[in-house]
Amino acid sequence: MAEPRISSIDGKLAEEFAVPSHVEEVKEKMAAFASFHAEAGRKVVLITSGGTKVPLESRTVRFLDNFSSGRRGASSAEYFIDSGYAVIFLHRHRSLYPYTRMFLTINMLDALEFQGGGAPGNTGEVVVNQQVLPNIAKVLKRYEEVKKSRLLLPIEFSTLSEYLHLLKAAAQALSKIGSKAMFYLAAAVSDFYIPASEMPEHKIQSSNGPLQLSMKMVPKILSPLVKEWAPQAFVISFKLETDASILLDKARRALDTYRHQAVVANVLDSRRGYVVVVTLETQAELILTEEDVKNEVEIEERIVSNLTSAHDNFITQQVA
């Protein structure tokens, strides 16, 4: 099927996806963040993370969601910061977040206690139970350093419309720093949506019988991003499949179609231990061994290391 023209994608975005009221304000914030860090000699990465939500009613009771915990985006953000990047973290509201992701499974009240014990009447100072959170001091220290250096700019989305408009705003904001910008598109984005004009206002009634849905195809946003909004940037998309036998073919097809720099290909069940970074000329398998897993090595450290080197080469080629 022929790719839709970019101007028609831009038009569709404006007409069929509600524009978030704060998009211009966020765009200015991202542009200022990018300029500040680029002037300080840093590269800037825009990470998208988490799944998009597609409402079925305009006063939304029900919605369609894409699976993604946000772990890949959140952990990658930490490794990019450790590699000297400033990070714009465009993430799904309440998905995993850099640094706090490590404490997700802990009940906050189990991690706190009264200093001096829980004797009746002791409602004094509350302290952290170091047995429940053994590495909290180390993580807190790093988090405070990152905050002080303003290396992380978090931006939230929930719906597909918010994601699409905020990604466009981010691409336009980062276009000002050219090849120093990287796009790391790890979010799981819906391929289907109901245009605002066709969406029922009120809750769909089950008394009307079984629900039949007809959804339109979401325009592939990679196309205008690469060709128009940020043409000098280093762009990485992700490819998620559940059938391993079609994965690499789909990754290569994406590269052929969009002509961006790399695709990180992964299968749902093995995504935490195995990915393939595919470029037009190369194919690198990144694998965690049992020893790596024992030592709590994360695959995102390998992915980020591979891509930051490739980004450096890309910048050098652009300058030459």
Tell me the closest approach of the beta carbon of residue 49 to ligand PMT, in angstroms: 7
The answer to whether 101 contacts ligand PMT (rule: CB under 6 A) is no
Stretch that binds ligand PMT, among 21-29, 62-70, 77-85, 131-139 (CB under 6 A): 62-70
Picking from 96, 101, 95, 98, the residue whose alpha carbon sits closest to that of residue 87 is 98
**Is residue 27 a contact residue for ligand PMT (CB under 6 A)?**
no
**What are the tokens at 127?**
């302290």
Among 43, 53, 71, 260, indicate the residue that binds ligand PMT (CB under 6 A). 71
Q: Which stretch binds ligand PMT (CB under 6 A): 69-77, 102-110, 278-286, 302-310?
A: 69-77
DSSP 97-151: -TTGGGGTTS-GGGGEEETT---TT----EEE-TTTSTTHHHHHHHHHHHHHTT-
Q: Minimum Å distance from CB 99 to ligand PMT?
A: 16
SS3 77: helix
Burial of 156 (0-12, 13-18, 19+ CB in 10 A): middle
Query: Which residues from 253-282 bind ligand PMT, rule CB under 6 A?
Result: 266, 271
How many chain residues are in contact with ligand PMT, going by CB under 6 A? 21
Structural contact between residues 45 and 81, judged by C-beta atoms closer than 8 angstroms: no
Question: Which of 97, 229, 234, 238 touches ligand PMT (CB under 6 A)?
Answer: 238
Q: Are 155 and 23 in contact (CB under 8 A)?
A: no
Q: Which is nearer to ligand PMT, 38 or 226 (CB)?
A: 226
Question: Residue 32 CB, nearest distance to ligand PMT (Å)?
Answer: 25
**Residue 41, phi-psi category: left (phi > 0), alpha (psi -120 to 50), beta (remainder):** left
Cα dihedral sign, 274-306-158-215 = negative
Mutual angle of helices 160-174 and 6-16, in 10-degree steps? 130
* Residue placing its CB nearer to ligand PMT in the complex, 85 or 163: 163
Give the per-residue contact string, 215-234, with ligand PMT (x = CB under 6 A; - = no): ---x-xxx------------
Q: Is 157 in the site for ligand PMT (CB under 6 A)?
A: no
Contact residues: ligand PMT, CB under 6 A: 68-72, 185-189, 191, 218, 220-222, 237-240, 266, 271
